[in-house]
Amino acid sequence: MYKILIVEDDDTISSIMEEKLNKWGYEVSIIPDFNDVISNYTSFKPHLVLMDINLPYYDGFYWCAKIRQISNIPIIFISSRDTDGDKIRAISQGGDDYVEKPFSMDLLIAKVQAVLRRAYSYSDQTLNVLQYRDMILNLERLQVFYNENEIELTPNECKILSMLIRNHGKVVTRSRLMRALWDDESFVDDNTLTVNVNRLRKKLDTIGLEGYIKTIKGEGYRLI
């Protein structure tokens, strides 16, 4: 079980995050003493930290730097501060991702799973998400997240996108996609795959992912 430490001084927000993370099977601890985050960190030994920036005594940047002195554990910043400067500072000082308040809990869970997957095990099937650049695909909920936007996919659209992500940099042939979607592609009209891909493209367009799926004439598709 992955352990997550929440460093957030808003009791309502931290409680909501704790409840949601518990439902997803994570063990959660909320910092009780903002004057000594490191002691709580070392005693709990988390796999990931959710870090607010505006905190009592010292800010999240300070505690991120302190943690980085002893560990490369993933840290996701969560803050209402939305300037590019804050985001750049968060990442440059050791943060792995940045989530703006207010945020969707589904988006937060997807980012948590993606960061844990990158940090610990790409083969861990409990982390049911895939990530390509800034796009996150939640395989269980059939959702795509990009920045603060999200869309829902059909099962076939999800299968297509997951295959493209898993094979990014390579062309996925039409026949391979058809075998993945249907047991025997010989009984499926070739146009059916085209329709599914086009629908997926249109959905990705709505959240700012225009042109992410490239057609390779006579072969298949790949992500740009």
Q: Interior CA angle at 221 toward 220 and 224, to 5°?
A: 150
pTM of the model: 0.66
One digit per residue, the tens of pLDDT, for the chain of length 224 reads 799 999 999 999 999 999 999 999 899 999 998 998 998 998 899 999 999 999 999 999 999 999 998 888 999 999 988 788 888 999 988 899 999 998 889 999 999 998 998 888 654 555 677 888 888 888 888 999 888 788 999 999 999 999 999 999 999 999 899 888 876 544 566 788 999 999 999 999 999 999 999 999 989 999 99
CATH number at residue 190: 1.10.10.10
In a domain, 136, yes or no: no
Between strands 129-132 and 135-138, the pairing is antiparallel
The C-alpha atoms of residue 2 and residue 28 are separated, in whole angstroms, by 9
Residue 179 structural domain: 149-223
Does residue 164 lie within any of the structural domains? yes
Domains identified in the chain, total number: 2
| Unique residue bearing structure tokens 């809990």 | 105
Location of structure tokens 């295959």: 163
Give the three-class secondary structure for 49: strand
CATH number at residue 48: 3.40.50.2300
